[in-house]
Amino acid sequence: MTSTELAVIGGSGLVRLFDGPAERVDVHTPYGSVTATVGEFAGRRTAFLPRHGDGHTVAPHLIAYRANIWALASLGVRVILSSSAVGSLTPDLPPGTLALTDQIIDRTTGRASTFFDRGEVHHLPAADPFDPALHVLALEALRAAGEDVRPSATVVVIDGPRFATRAESRWHAAMGGELVNMTMAPEVFLASELGLGTVNLAFVTDMDAGIDSGDPDAASQSLVFERLAAAQPRIVAALATIAGAIPPGHRAPQHIPADAIATVLGRTS
């Protein structure tokens, strides 16, 4: 199979990407098996992974993040474009907003968050968790296409699968969080360890636990999926706009030595 430089990881509600023919690819990794589909998206050969599996069957804390990223890297992927459903912690980012996230506050626990947990230890710089160059490209492309997108946002990543309490929402906002999500960590950090650039498009579905008691926009599963379903054409179009703007051969900053990355990708068990 021909390698592909670009991958799309679909968040909640995005389980299919290709309108035309697509090839199913099973990848066996040291961290479990992964099934991706490869087809053409925005004129680019693209690998697609639904983060929660077909039919939204994998809870956020049970996603095989290392398997997913290892599998994509083994297919030749160099850039990951992801979509995420998020709750808002501020009235400045109301439901229906598209935002390009650029900072993460990781509040997850117990997730395998590195490939370097045996043998050599490598300390990943994470001041800018997403690829800054891809962020700029995505912002310029979306604005040129007439899409109203927020240029930056700090996302708090929680374990899930439950939503936050009102007290937790207030605390997350007081910490500097603007959005809340359950899946961006450790996904983004693992990609960076293997030298893959990431850019994330977040869609605000709700006001998390609600700014005021009884807020009708407070998070619920039915509300989140209803709004995601209605927004799918817009989200996919925005992803296509970004994908079309990423130049072939793009390389993200590589923070881990190449030989260490090769050792990880050479693992069989």
Q: Which of 102, 106, 208, 217 is catalytic?
A: 208
The residue from 131, 206, 217, 259 that is catalytic is 206
CB-based contact 260:116 (threshold 8 Å): yes
Find all residues with CB under 8 Å of 19, minimum gap 6, and list them: none
- The answer to whether the beta carbons of residues 202 and 86 sit under 8 Å apart is yes
217 in catalytic set: no
Q: Is 95 left (phi over 0), alpha (psi -120 to 50) or beta?
A: beta
Give the ranges where the chain is alpha helix by DSSP (H): 65-74, 132-144, 166-174, 184-193, 221-245, 258-265
208 is catalytic: yes
Cα 228 to Cα 13, 18, 102, 132, 173: the distances in Å are: 6, 18, 22, 27, 23
Is residue 161 reached through a cis peptide bond, with omega within 30 degrees of 0 on the bond before it? Answer: yes
Positions marked catalytic? 206, 208
